[in-house]
Amino acid sequence: MRSIRGRKSAAASAELRTKVAELMPRAKDDLAELVAFRSVADPVEQPPEECEKAADWIVQAFTEVGLTGVKRSTTPDGSDCVHGHAPGPAGAPTVLLYCHYDVQPAVAQDGWRTPPWELTEGDDGRWYGRGAADCKGNVVVHLTALRALLALGPLPVTVKVIVEGSEEQGTGGLDARLPAHADLLRADAICMVDTGNAAVGQPTLSTSLRGETSVDVTVEALAGAVHSGAFGGPAPDPVTGLIAVLASLHDADGDTTVDGLEDTGIWPGVEYPADRFRADARVLDGVELVGGGAIADSVWARFSATVVGLDVPPVAGSVLAIQPSARARVSLRVPPGVKATDAQDALVEHLRSRVPWGLRHAIDRMTSGDPFAGSLSGPAFEALRSGLEEAYGRPLVTQGEGGSIPLCTVFERTFPDAEIMLYGVEEPACRIHAANESVAPSEIERLALAEALFLRAYGDGR
């Protein structure tokens, strides 16, 4: 026979599930209003007023939910974050809920089938629009979860909310502001809600993020461009030399090979099937995947070097000349367990040692952000696991993220005792950062329920 407490808990969970379902029309309205703000944190792309209007909307929305002291604060990069809190019972733990309201640029001519700044329901039932998933859908998750909880009683934990305004630009405004305002965001558990499930309907925690470091490598041979017919042969071609340097970053199978970096990591969590990866990455028919080992190992547990920029003459308008110089930007993704600065040191030395023909060269260090490993145990982790599994009706899996969220490592340094967990609505079909970004409304509903269940269970100590 089930205990009285167990029956009460089941009844309370059923009430939450019903309440979240009732709130979904409002969630859609919220998301439609948010998507309409062209909140790209780059004045070259969109007027700054668009971000300001989005931030003001979020201030009002969380104030109406019941948080106190909700306001905008300017960060060192000029963007505004939004923060507020709702006190829980005395002695209750504190949970910080993170998300961001800024988005990637979107141009209708880039292949959008629907207006990018207008939330549109597709024939497949998904909701389309820039930011629908990344990350305005997660703003709506927080609002819906809090509304559902507060409709049934007081909050069981102290809740703090921080909504970033320049995450997509990578300019580090909140990263720089956080250390000096640590008490504002101090919490026992930090929910970084800016990732996603392995697939629609599969509850997933992202438990690692690769770091990133990049360098610019420039090679020079001539005082100026010269005729390729008159001087080609003995005169060294910097473009060819640079290509040789860049080619050394991968072996014949396509695995990243940087001197001094061991690249044998194994991912212990969920697999990433090759056919799904091909579809997610939009690999053309007949083109092979590169590298050895499992896909999950390659994208979550190993290094990957990518040439992300190249300064050479474009084909259109090119002339028959040997160029005096060439430049490339190389990005290196760094798996957990390796400091980004150590990886950058190895990358610099590797590139320097491969420059041929005595070409003059310079290697300039650019970005550097450490990898991150999230919590895999503790009371908050167990409460979130329980909430996710109850909301989805399936066991939790863990995955890595190939991308980087530098704020995670800032939180880790600032709050070393906090449990930090990553989840969100951004599953592979969302096509974040691309044309036709979308979100599955079922993901918003289930994650809002999971978050509400988590907050309740964490506060009750179950």
What counts of helices (H) and strands (E) characterise the chain?
13, 18
How far is 143 from 151, CA to CA, in rounded Å? Answer: 12
Cα–Cα distance measured from residue 331 to residue 210, given in angstroms and rounded to the nearest whole number? 12
Q: Which of 75, 42, 47 is nearest to 162 (CA)?
A: 75
Q: Name the β-bridge partners of 220.
A: 325, 360
User: Between vectors from CA 8 to CA 7 and to CA 12, what angle results, nearest 5°?
Assistant: 120
Give CA–CA dist 158/16, Å, rounded. 19
Q: Tell me the DSSP string of 253-310.
A: TS-B--TT--------S----HHHHHHHHTPPTTPPP-SSS-HHHHHHSS-EEEEEEE
Residue 102 is a catalytic residue = yes
Q: Which amino acid is at 92?
A: A
Question: Could you count the other beta carbons within 10 Å of the beta carbon of residue 101?
Answer: 28
Taking every pair of C-alpha atoms in the chain, what is the biggest distance, in angstroms?
93
Location of structure tokens 């099937």? 273
Whole-angstrom distance, CA of residue 102 vs CA of residue 37: 9
Tell me the two tokens of residue 301: 């547990």
Contact criterion met (CB below 8 Å) for 361 and 430: no
- The active-site residue, picked from 30, 80, 167, 451, is 167
Coil/strand/helix, residue 347: helix
Specify whether the CB–CB gap between 370 and 391 falls below 8 A. Answer: no
Q: If residue 24 lies in a helix (H) or strand (E), which one and from where to where?
A: helix 4-35
Q: How far is CA 444 from CA 15, 68, 234, 323, 451, in A?
A: 17, 24, 63, 53, 10
* Residue 408 parent element (H or E): helix 406-414
List the end-to-end C-alpha distance of the chain, in Å, as a whole number. 20
Any idea what DSSP says for residue 178?
Answer: G
Separation of alpha carbons 158 and 137, rounded Å: 23
Please give the Cα distance from 34 to 58 (Å, whole number).
Answer: 9
From 50, 102, 175, 401, active-site residue: 102
Using DSSP's 3-state secondary structure scheme, residue 291 falls into coil
The owner of tokens 């009002």 is 60
Q: Determine the residue type at 260.
A: G
Active site residues: 102, 167
